[in-house]
Amino acid sequence: MPNEGKSDGVVRGAVVITGASSGIGRECSLYLDRRGYRVFAGVRKSLDGEALAQAASARLTPLTIDVTDSRTIVEAASRVEQSLGQVPFIGLVNNAGIGVGGPVEFLTPSEMHRQLEVNLLGPLAVTQAFMPLIRRSRGRIVNVSSIGGRVATPFLGPYCASKFALEALSDCMRAELKPFGISVSIVEPGAIKTKMFDKAASSVDEIMRALPADGLRYYSGDIETMRKLIAMQDRNAVPAERVAKVIEHALTAMRPRTRYLVGVDARLMAALHWLLPDRAFDALLAMFTRRVGSAPSGAKQTA
């Protein structure tokens, strides 16, 4: 990994990061700013951009990007190109994303469309807009996926489907762009300590409210277990700076990896999924979920 520490005053290159209002995107923006990079931090709301700028150096520039709005994407790419000057553009980090959950049986097409629009079509549109700049500088592309892009879990069908698709798209891009000297890496975090868990807890309530009577009868117990799983993951999550360090490696290492698993839970899930037959893995996952569901609220579980 690159050496840690504050910037030595030398601007190391420019990076665009989407979804920088909170969570991994915000931490990555601030971390790379401290490390001396020229950071263009993509946010949807001006207030979020102002708050981010106040926490950073003058090198960080908030950038209005809504990954579902092509106008903001094109304008952002133009602004970055005009602002670079002599600073080399080293990479694009596609981090913006949302999570939609619930039983697939009762999933509406509009919910699936919203999930794919942000997590799959968004990175595609942003990457295409920045490709001329990436080509000229032989910059890199880093797509932030999830362990959910490698291992699908119950009641996260839309989210996992979007991340599986993002990984497939990334694999194709990596092969297609290799002849041009452009690297594409995928980052697959497990549980990361961000406000994501507050949003996830709220989404459980939304799922329960949206389910019809049959859905509540079939799945209410499982969805309540999701609430306990979210609380357990929140307690065991690793700091977001871990992901930021991995992203810096993907942007700057001489030989960046094609995939980066972040967190013990992500590595464990990936290893078990690779080692076990599908039905054996399903049984192990069901056993663990039952254990969490039967535990008293607040009880600490280990993987």
Question: Which are the catalytic amino acids?
Answer: 159
Is residue 163 a contact partner of residue 55, using CB atoms and an 8 Å limit?
A: no
Helix, strand, or coil (residue 226): helix
Nearest-Å Rg of the Cα atoms of the chain is: 20
* Cβ neighbours, 10 Å, residue 146: 26
Cβ neighbours for 185, distance < 8 A, ≥ 6 positions apart: 140, 141, 142, 143, 170, 250, 256, 257, 258, 259, 260
User: Is the Cβ–Cβ distance between 108 and 157 less than 8 Å?
Assistant: no
The whole-angstrom separation of Cα 26 and Cα 41 is 8
The span from the CA of 117 to the CA of 215, in Å, is 25
Where b means 16+ CB within 10 Å and e means fewer, 282-300 reads eeebeeebeebeeeeeeee
E strands of the chain, at which residues? 14-17, 38-43, 61-64, 89-94, 140-144, 184-189, 192-193, 238-239, 259-262
